[in-house]
């Protein structure tokens, strides 16, 4: 078969902590195909790709590229062999600009010695335009929201013009429009003969764009199929090993008194641009307010304000009738406000600490787990084990450091921690980012359970299905304002919502956002 | 008291400030380059000491101050490389490796000095040479400025030039971009095919050479001989200055000048007022501590201000 461009044969990868992440895996790619890699969190997808990209060295197995055996022992060698990778957890240098990150390692020069920064910016700008990504390439990466970081990461790989491109969950934080845009580009690359490996937990995406798919479970290959030959249900079953039911019923919300009151809140970013513009809304006990919107329209800034991370705003935020600014982060959390941050690696976890330390990082002061001077380790360990079971966190034990978990499992640790305090208000920013279908449904069910127990939920998500499925009310954010509010979400169509998200439609009067 | 005042506002005082600043600034720049690449080079003190002695020995051996300097620089580069080897290849903790190098340098230089000159304290019996002082054309004729800038040791000019060179290196060249990327996120650097260790080796070597310049200046400019422990903590002051200057060359220049002023002030006060010698000697170190305290306090305030606005 001459159209096979790459073969991974019998790959065995055992991490130093004894976890067998890849158990004799075979994978073969045809030239010019888009090949999906599927599997639950912790199935070993990222590991297999890291092996291909030279970040992890396998214990056994070989890689055959265009009929020749190659030894890929570092990313450098992978790149030299025409392999590029977009990493699940971004590989970006925060203090450098987007342009500098894109050209890092392949810098345009002038006079042989100096970086040609003008050229670099031009090149970065051009490639961003070419792929229809709206990015200010002069901005430092640390100031960018996750969605934009994701785009920078994608551009970085595309700029290097890889013949085989690995995309590890590139769409986890993209909005549907952005994903669509990306797919157009991927199809173009495919036509030009590039081969693409695509990892995603969103099965509809895979149905849409992939030619073939390989399913992994527990470090093993469960078979490669032509996409048209398998249904979504079959895929789920192969992934999980049993039938998965994706639908569930949600009772109508039964909201009570207002617990979170936001009035005339505005905030500027460091550059002085207005990111949240005079927003007011209420959330009541027992309801879920969804916020939809294209990334970067002020959602994150809003979340930062509500959770106390940013106190640099005008207007009022009242949490249980107390001014948020006076409460501070600790005060807010003491009122049982939980926060699932968008960026799990920066704000969500301490990656070098173990699971136990991470799940208790918000409740060391709780007397269940701590006496006056000493921590009650027995109680903590028992509780940590409970949480691991409940949230299906795939790990060795609670002593495993969080950085060594798979991406989706890190997200589960964050969610477990935030849910375990018995929250009265949940501010959830992309709560199921990178989580497999089964676990994502579990988390959504949890959110609804909390709602039914009287918890107020603010949900920000780029995943429209999620927003539709969960929200009792839905507000659309566009350029720092609400462009529309919907109290009967069931009647809203995705198209209609899209118009509001893109600013094509805007309601002057917002009904049902404030109760008074 | 009046006389002290007069001295401080004289061109001679500022001439002295530049002279005193020179070794500190070299050390600070050395710290900057290393820490930017992600390696905390605590071995600066030892490298300076080694280079100071090597410079003296080879300048005497070849009867050439320039060859003395060259060998001093080579020794500094090699020790820097050695630190890199310990940290990168043998995976030693950078702080521990640095302390080891410092201890080795402190003892080793005395030992070597004793073998060569038979003296444990100073190298006065070795006929070493000093690097020349240098009149600046044109500038030397400008009043005041001429007095301050002209006729400095050649290495004083070198260090000022180094500020610019290191600035360009870090911010205008691909190597600098790589150094910064490696120091901040080695995984990201590696993922784009950068050889992280190679970049770090280069950075510690440059760092070693810069520190060696500072060491050579001490024994072949500031003084005309080697004396045991003559670096007197300048390597550590350099590390503090680097932290205060935010690991930038321009910051390094400003903070080093501040330390230079404190140091010169010490010299002046010593001659002007009757304060115990030991207290005056403490001045540069006290400045370091006070400086670091002010620096972190203002940082804290800044953060608070940002939050409360
Ligand atoms: N650096 C590491 N050290 C030890 N174990 C690791 C490390 N990285 C991953 N693992 C383990 O290897 C297994 C596979 O992880 P991997 O990241 O490949 O999963 P994945 O399929 O990409 O999952 P996800 O969908 O959550 O991203 C997991 O059980 C994880 O705990
Ligand atoms: Mg993964």
What whole-number distance in Å separates Cα of residue A476 and Cα of residue A497?
8
Q: Identify the domain containing residue B212 by its residue range.
A: 2-296
Nearest CA in chain B to A324: B308
The yes/no answer on whether domain A254-336+457-516 falls in CATH 3.40.50.970 is no
Query: What is the predicted pLDDT for the residue at A370?
Result: 85
What whole-number distance in Å separates Cα of residue A318 and Cα of residue A68?
65
pLDDT tens digits for A503-515?
Answer: 888 888 777 787 7
Set of chain B residues whose Cβ sits within 8 Å of the Cβ of A96: 177, 180-181, 184
Please count the structural domains in chain B: 1
Residue B49: inside a domain: yes
Structure tokens given for A198: 């695509």
Query: What is the predicted pLDDT for the residue at A216?
Result: 93
Instruction: Determine whether B147 is exposed, middle or buried from the number of CB atoms within 10 Å of its CB (0-12, 13-18, 19+).
Output: middle
Residue B193 contacts A where some CB pair is shorter than 8 Å: yes
Set of chain B residues whose Cβ sits within 8 Å of the Cβ of A75: 190-193
Local confidence band at A244 (pLDDT 50, 70, 90 cut-offs): low
Contact at CB, A107 and B174, closer than 8 angstroms: yes
Contact at CB, B309 and A311, closer than 8 angstroms: yes
Cα A384 to chain center, whole Å? Answer: 24
Higher-confidence residue: A178 or A148? Answer: A148
Give the mean model confidence (pLDDT) for residues A437-455: 88
Give the mean model confidence (pLDDT) for residues B139-149: 85
Residue B304: inside a domain: no
Set of chain A residues whose Cβ sits within 8 Å of the Cβ of B306: 312
Query: What is the predicted pLDDT for the residue at A1?
Result: 47
What whole-number distance in Å separates Cα of residue B295 and Cα of residue B245?
9
- Segments of chain A assigned to CATH 3.40.50.300: 4-240, 254-336+457-516
| CA angle in degrees (0–180, nearest 5) for A440-A441-A442 | 90
One-character DSSP codes across A210-274 = -SEEEEEETTEEEEEEEGGGS-HHHHHHHHHSS--------PPP---SEEEEEEEEEEE-TTS-E
| CA angle in degrees (0–180, nearest 5) for A406-A408-A414 | 105
Contact (CB, 8 A) for A222 and A37: no
Q: Count of CB atoms within 10 A of residue B212's CB?
A: 31
Q: What's the mean pLDDT when you consider all of chain A?
A: 89
pLDDT tens digits for A56-66?
Answer: 999 999 999 99
Contact at CB, B174 and A115, closer than 8 angstroms: yes
> Which is the CATH superfamily of the domain at A4-240?
P-loop containing nucleotide triphosphate hydrolases (3.40.50.300)
Is the pLDDT assigned to residue B1 strictly greater than 70? no
Is the pLDDT assigned to residue B161 strictly greater than 90? yes
* Site from B169, B189, B192 to mutate, A interface, most A CB atoms within 10 angstroms: B192
Q: Residues 6 or more apart from A205 whose CB is under 8 A from it?
A: A171, A179, A183
Residue A227 phi, psi (nearest 5): -60, -40
Residue B308: inside a domain: no
* Site from B38, B184, B191, B308 to mutate, A interface, most A CB atoms within 10 angstroms: B191
What whole-number distance in Å separates Cα of residue A196 and Cα of residue A163?
8
What whole-number distance in Å separates Cα of residue B282 and Cα of residue B273?
15
- d(CA A320, nearest CA chain B) in Å: 21
Q: What's the mean pLDDT when you consider all of chain B?
A: 89
Distance between Cα A409 and ligand 2 center (Å): 9
Is the pLDDT assigned to residue B309 strictly greater than 50? no
Residue B304 contacts A where some CB pair is shorter than 8 Å: no
* Site from A49, A55, A76, A105 to mutate, B interface, most B CB atoms within 10 angstroms: A105
Residue B110: inside a domain: yes
pLDDT tens digits for A375-410?
Answer: 888 889 999 999 999 988 989 889 999 988 988 899
Residue B302: inside a domain: no
Nearest CA in chain B to A102: B192
pLDDT tens digits for A124-136?
Answer: 999 998 888 888 9
What whole-number distance in Å separates Cα of residue A187 and Cα of residue B127?
76
Give the mean model confidence (pLDDT) for residues B146-170: 93
Q: Count of CB atoms within 10 A of residue B160's CB?
A: 17
pLDDT tens digits for A280-335?
Answer: 999 999 999 999 988 778 899 999 999 999 888 999 999 999 999 899 999 999 99
Distances (CA, A) of A114 to A96, A109, A138, B160: 17, 5, 18, 21
Q: What is the DSSP-derived secondary structure letter of residue B85?
A: I
What whole-number distance in Å separates Cα of residue B193 and Cα of residue A72?
12
Is the pLDDT assigned to residue B182 strictly greater than 70? yes
Higher-confidence residue: A495 or A210? Answer: A210
Structure tokens given for B260: 């230079």
Q: Of the candidates A79, A104, A114, which has its C-beta nearest B173's C-beta?
A: A114
Is the pLDDT assigned to residue A142 strictly greater than 50? yes
User: What pTM did the predictor assign?
Assistant: 0.81
**CATH value at residue B246:** 1.10.3470
Q: Of the candidates A93, A115, A312, which has its C-beta nearest B172's C-beta?
A: A115
Residue B48: inside a domain: yes
Residues with CB under 6 A from ligand 1: A 15, 17, 19, 21, 39, 41-47, 88, 394-395, 404-409
The residue to mutate among A42, A55, A56, A398, having the most atoms of ligand 1 within 8 angstroms of its beta carbon, is: A42
Give the mean model confidence (pLDDT) for residues B211-217: 97
Distances (CA, A) of A302 to A141, A174, A270, A314, B109: 20, 19, 15, 12, 61
Q: Is the ipTM of this complex over 0.90?
A: no
Higher-confidence residue: A499 or A100? Answer: A100
Query: What is the predicted pLDDT for the residue at A41?
Result: 87
Instruction: Determine whether B103 is exposed, middle or buried from the number of CB atoms within 10 Å of its CB (0-12, 13-18, 19+).
Output: exposed
Contact (CB, 8 A) for A283 and A258: yes
């Amino acid at each position: 078969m001459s159209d096979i461009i790459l073969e991974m044969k019998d790959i065995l990868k055992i991490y130093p902590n004894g976890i067998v992440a890849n158990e004799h895996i075979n994978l073969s790619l045809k030239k010019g195909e888009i090949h999906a890699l599927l599997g639950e969190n912790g199935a070993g997808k990222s590991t297999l790709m890291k092996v291909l990209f030279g970040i992890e060295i396998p214990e056994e197995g070989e890689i055959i590229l265009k009929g020749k055996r190659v030894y890929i022992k570092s990313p450098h060698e992978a790149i030299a062999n025409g392999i590029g990778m977009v990493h699940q957890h971004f590989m970006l240098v925060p203090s450098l600009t987007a342009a500098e990150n894109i050209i890092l390692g392949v810098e345009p020069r002038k006079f042989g010695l100096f970086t040609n920064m003008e050229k670099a910016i031009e090149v970065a700008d051009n490639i961003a335009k070419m792929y229809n990504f709206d990015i200010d390439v002069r901005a430092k990466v640390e100031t960018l929201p996750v969605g934009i970081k994701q785009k920078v990461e994608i551009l970085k790989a595309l700029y290097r013009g890889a013949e085989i491109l690995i995309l590890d969950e590139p769409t986890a934080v993209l909005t549907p429009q952005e994903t669509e845009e990306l797919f157009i580009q991927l199809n173009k690359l495919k036509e030009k003969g590039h081969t693409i490996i695509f990892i995603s937990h969103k099965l509809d995406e895979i149905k849409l764009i992939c030619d073939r798919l390989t399913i992994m479970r527990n470090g093993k290959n469960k078979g490669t199929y032509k996409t048209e030959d398998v249904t979504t249900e079959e895929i789920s079953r192969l992934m999980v090993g049993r039938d998965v039911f994706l639908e569930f019923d949600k009772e109508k919300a039964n909201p009570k008194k207002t617990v979170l009151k936001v009035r005339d809140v505005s905030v500027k970013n460091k550059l002085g641009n207005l990111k949240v513009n005079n927003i007011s809304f209420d959330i009541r006990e027992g309801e879920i307010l969804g916020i939809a919107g294209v990334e970067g329209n002020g959602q994150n800034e809003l979340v930062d304000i509500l959770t106390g991370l940013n106190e640099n705003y005008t207007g009022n935020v009242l949490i249980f009738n107390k001014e948020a600014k006076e409460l501070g982060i600790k005060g807010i959390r003491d009122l049982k406000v939980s926060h699932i941050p968008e960026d799990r690696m920066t704000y969500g976890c301490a990656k070098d600490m173990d699971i136990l330390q991470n799940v208790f990082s918000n409740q060391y002061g709780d007397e269940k787990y701590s006496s006056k001077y000493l921590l009650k380790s027995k109680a903590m360990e028992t509780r940590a084990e409970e949480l691991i079971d409940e949230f299906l966190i795939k790990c060795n034990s609670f002593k495993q450091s969080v950085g060594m978990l798979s991406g989706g499992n890190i997200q589960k640790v964050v969610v477990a921690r935030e849910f375990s305090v018995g929250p009265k208000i949940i501010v959830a920013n992309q709560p199921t980012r990178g989580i497999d279908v089964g676990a994502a449904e579990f988390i959504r069910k949890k959110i609804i359970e909390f709602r039914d127990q009287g918890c107020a939920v603010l949900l920000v998500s780029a995943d429209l299905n999620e927003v539709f499925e969960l929200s009792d009310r839905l507000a659309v954010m566009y350029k720092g304002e609400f462009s529309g509010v919907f109290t009967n979400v069931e009647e809203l169509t995705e198209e209609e919502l899209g118009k509001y998200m893109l600013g094509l439609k805007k309601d002057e009067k917002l009904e049902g956002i404030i109760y008074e | 008291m009046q006389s002290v005042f007069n001295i401080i506002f004289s061109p001679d005082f500022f001439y002295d400030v530049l002279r005193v600043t020179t070794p500190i600034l070299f050390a600070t720049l050395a710290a900057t380059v290393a820490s930017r690449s992600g390696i905390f080079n605590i071995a600066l003190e030892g490298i300076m000491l080694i280079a100071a002695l090597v410079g003296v020995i080879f300048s005497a051996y070849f009867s050439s101050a320039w060859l003395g300097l060259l060998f001093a620089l080579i020794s500094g580069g090699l020790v820097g490389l050695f630190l890199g080897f310990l940290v990168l290849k043998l995976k030693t903790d950078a702080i521990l490796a640095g302390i080891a190098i410092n201890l080795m340098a402190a003892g080793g230089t005395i030992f070597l000095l004793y073998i060569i000159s038979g003296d444990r304290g100073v190298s006065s019996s070795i006929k070493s040479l000093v690097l020349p002082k240098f009149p600046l054309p044109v500038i030397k004729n400008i009043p005041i400025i001429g007095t301050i800038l002209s006729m400095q040791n050649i290495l004083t000019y070198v260090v000022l030039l180094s500020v610019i060179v290191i600035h360009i290196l870090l911010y205008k060249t691909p190597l600098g971009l790589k150094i910064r990327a490696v120091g901040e996120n080695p995984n990201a650097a590696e993922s784009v095919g950068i050889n992280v260790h190679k970049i770090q080796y280069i950075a510690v070597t440059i760092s070693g050479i810069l520190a060696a310049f500072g060491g050579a200046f001490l024994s072949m400019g500031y003084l005309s001989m080697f004396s045991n422990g003559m670096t007197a903590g300048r390597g550590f002051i350099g590390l503090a200055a680097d932290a205060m200057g935010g690991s930038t060359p321009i910051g390094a220049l400003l903070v080093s000048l501040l330390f230079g002023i404190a140091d010169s002030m010490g010299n002046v006060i010593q001659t002007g007022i009757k304060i115990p010698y030991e207290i005056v000697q403490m001045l540069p170190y006290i400045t370091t501590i006070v400086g670091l305290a002010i620096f972190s306090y203002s940082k804290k305030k800044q953060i608070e201000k940002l939050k409360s606005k």
